[in-house]
Amino acid sequence: KLPEFKDPFGTLTPNQPCRLCIHIPSSVAASDVQCVIEHEDGTPALAVPMDFSSQIGAYDMFTGSFQLRQPGLFFYYFRIVAHTGPFRLFKQGDDTNMEAGDKWQVSCVPADFTTPSWAKGASIYQVFPDRFHRSGTCDLTGKLKPYTIHEDWNEEVCWQPTADGKVLNNDFYGGNFRGITEKMDYIASLGTTILYLNPISKSFSSHRYDTGDYKTPDPMLGTEEDFAALCDAAHARGIQVILDGVYSHTGSDSLYFDREGSFGGNGAFCSQNSPYYSWYTFHRWPYSYNSWWGFETLPTVNKMDPAFIEYVITGEDSVVAHWLRAGADGFRLDVADELPSEFLDLLKKRVRQIKPDALVIGEVWEDASNKISYNRRCRYFVDGMLDSVMNYPFRTAILNFMARQDDGHGLRNTVMTIAENYPPQVLHCNMNLLGTHDTPRILTALVDSFDGSREELAKRHLPPEQYTTARELLMAASVLQYTLPGSPSLYYGDEAGMEGGKDPFNRRTYPWGDEDRTLLEHFKILGRLRKEHAALREGMIRFFRYDSGKLGFFRELAGKKLRICINRSEESWEIPAGKLLLGHNLQTVAPTWLTLNPLGFCILEEM
């Protein structure tokens, strides 16, 4: 995970030379060193001779070069002949046994794999449409029933199940397209360059992941003209709009399945002659069918069914074509690991055909460069299927560091592993998130791990002292989110001090007029700094400290260098001064030195 041992450090393209370097203790008396490169299935690819080049202290340095001929995922280790005999060297873990641990990874990606320039180092703002802002009223003709509308914007979300134990998620607050448009100046004030909207298609539930009609906006959100006006307002402020693409399942209450008969009885549940019947897998029609994670309201679709492919991707007025032409600039694909490679490949090519600089992001919770899903290796990058993914590994690493479960080594290793495994054009587009609609509010997650019943969570709020601690932690965590490689993704309201446990308490309404002004100003500064400093958007990263709760790294681009320091320890940390761009819990002790107190952080420009 150090650039000096592999050049280039990250992924390769076909026939691109790569130089490896390995330091072996001189006491080993290595007489022959080879790097053994294997295909992802373990079959041999290359044996690269490593030549002795010099001695550095107590180590002999061996170097070698190779090229990979075609895109793919590869792994490698070293075979060493010592005076005691041959042995293999793997990537070391905690075990001192040199043959223990994993192999190193290297990916070869297509030479023509590009990502949109506007998405590199972007600042993303995620909006859950029903809960952000409402303006006026909408024509609810065609709204799927039953539903309830909260008269009070600040009323608690409905969490109680029905008498038969079902959670319907059918309570609405009336957040709509016009409401989002009215707040576009506010969204822009956060430094936003991408607005990501959770699903907007006509659906039964407030989360709208149970699609009812892919090509029609939910009546409560407004009309397609309202959506186009939203996109126009965003574009006028330099903000691109991406939508949630939910293609692994539909709603049971939908044009395509129509279990409730809301759409005229032409769905697959109603007739085996339905044009949508082949979309679904029935065990015993109509009541027994494949559904997403067992939720009967979410029947899964056969993604490679020709009729589904044409409707969503390849048709002249397909779903993706429809929304791109309506003003959208790309898609975030829900549960991307449940979408076959062939589906992703078709979708990406069609999206780029319609809008050459459109963005395709995948929901992936793990390292997307080597993920195995449903017994198949995902080829998101080696086949250029996704422009980026949701960067949950960074979130986990940041939370562990802030919780003092990691002294800094773990976070640094996670960051450098992702930086090495992902193509740079993907790395800078990654959604660096702390909170989403699928996680507890980050303010809560930082100080309260309680995971009880919905009734218990509804009553649970942070007391003032705990809130103050959470705010301090969030300010430090967000500095990491906004300064590590990638595109920070801010979940609506996190900047305002919203709290809450898991769904639905992470989906409360934005507290207009009751924001935490300290947090809000902090996030506005972070957004502004990213716009002003290209090094934060696309610069290289180099850690200079990662121990004892003290974390420091550089971001550098075109001769401009920023230094970021975070102190999660219980003691002060003296650091060299620089031009202070942002600081908290620090003091000047001399013209050339700063003291970073516990939970202190700073962003400095090197002069």
Note the Cα 155 to chain centre separation in Å: 30
Q: What is the pLDDT of residue 97?
A: 60
Token readout for 540 is: 């290289």
- What DSSP string runs through 65-103? EE---S-EEEEEEEEEEETTEEEEE-B--S---TT-SBP
- Please say if the pLDDT value at position 242 is more than 90: yes
Token readout for 313 is: 């991707």
Cα–Cα distance for residue pair 328/37, rounded to 1 Å: 42
Please say whether the beta carbons of 231 and 328 come within 8 A. Answer: yes
Find residue 551's DSSP bridge partners: 546, 566
- Please say if the pLDDT value at position 93 is more than 90: no
Q: What is the pLDDT of residue 591?
A: 83
Taking only the tens place, the pLDDT of each residue in 189-225 is: 999 999 999 999 999 999 999 999 999 999 999 999 9
Q: What is the pLDDT of residue 3?
A: 79
Please say whether the beta carbons of 497 and 197 come within 8 A. Answer: no
Residue 95 confidence class, pLDDT cut points 50, 70, 90: low
Q: What is the pLDDT of residue 511?
A: 98
Taking only the tens place, the pLDDT of each residue in 127-137 is: 999 999 999 99
Residue 342 confidence class, pLDDT cut points 50, 70, 90: very high
At residue 37, what is the residue type? Answer: I
- Please say if the pLDDT value at position 101 is more than 90: no
- Please say if the pLDDT value at position 96 is more than 70: no
What torsion, rounded to 10 degrees, do the Cα atoms 398, 403, 408, 409 define?
A: -90
CB-based burial, 491-510: b 16+ in 10 Å, e otherwise: bbbbbbbbbbbbbbbbbbbb
Q: What is the pLDDT of residue 98?
A: 61
Cα–Cα distance for residue pair 174/186, rounded to 1 Å: 19
Q: What value does the mean pLDDT take over residues 151-160?
A: 97
Taking only the tens place, the pLDDT of each residue in 24-76 is: 999 999 999 999 999 999 999 999 999 999 999 999 999 999 999 999 999 99
Q: What is the pLDDT of residue 314?
A: 98
Report, in angstroms and rounded to the nearest whole number, the Rg of the chain calculated over CA atoms: 26
Cα–Cα distance for residue pair 181/195, rounded to 1 Å: 11
Taking only the tens place, the pLDDT of each residue in 460-489 is: 999 999 999 999 999 999 999 999 999 999
Q: Percent of the chain at pLDDT above 70?
A: 99
Cα–Cα distance for residue pair 537/115, rounded to 1 Å: 14
Q: What is the pLDDT of residue 356?
A: 98
Nearest to 147 by CA among 260, 237, 241, 233: 260
Cα–Cα distance for residue pair 489/219, rounded to 1 Å: 27
- 3-class SS of residue 120: coil
Cα–Cα distance for residue pair 289/287, rounded to 1 Å: 6
Count CB atoms within 10 A of the CB of residue 454. 16
Output the pTM of the full model: 0.97
Cα–Cα distance for residue pair 34/253, rounded to 1 Å: 60
Note the Cα 389 to chain centre separation in Å: 5
Angle between helices 392-402 and 409-421 (to 10 degrees): 170
Please say whether the beta carbons of 481 and 469 come within 8 A. Answer: no
Token readout for 209 is: 């992941």
What torsion, rounded to 10 degrees, do the Cα atoms 572, 573, 579, 583 define?
A: -40
Token readout for 515 is: 């924001």
- What DSSP string runs through 472-519? HHHHHHHHHHHHSSSEEEEETTGGGT----STTTTSPPP-TT---HHH
Taking only the tens place, the pLDDT of each residue in 261-275 is: 999 999 999 999 999
Which helix (H) or strand (E) element contains residue 542? strand 540-547
- What DSSP string runs through 410-433? HHHHHHHHHHHHS-HHHHTT-EEE
Find residue 411's DSSP bridge partners: none
Taking only the tens place, the pLDDT of each residue in 354-413 is: 999 999 999 999 999 999 999 999 999 999 999 999 999 999 999 999 999 999 999 999
First to last CA, the chain: 28
Q: What is the pLDDT of residue 99?
A: 67
Please say whether the beta carbons of 476 and 566 come within 8 A. Answer: yes
Which helix (H) or strand (E) element contains residue 308? helix 306-309
Q: What is the mean pLDDT of the chain?
A: 96
Please say whether the beta carbons of 436 and 483 come within 8 A. Answer: no
Cα–Cα distance for residue pair 493/443, rounded to 1 Å: 10
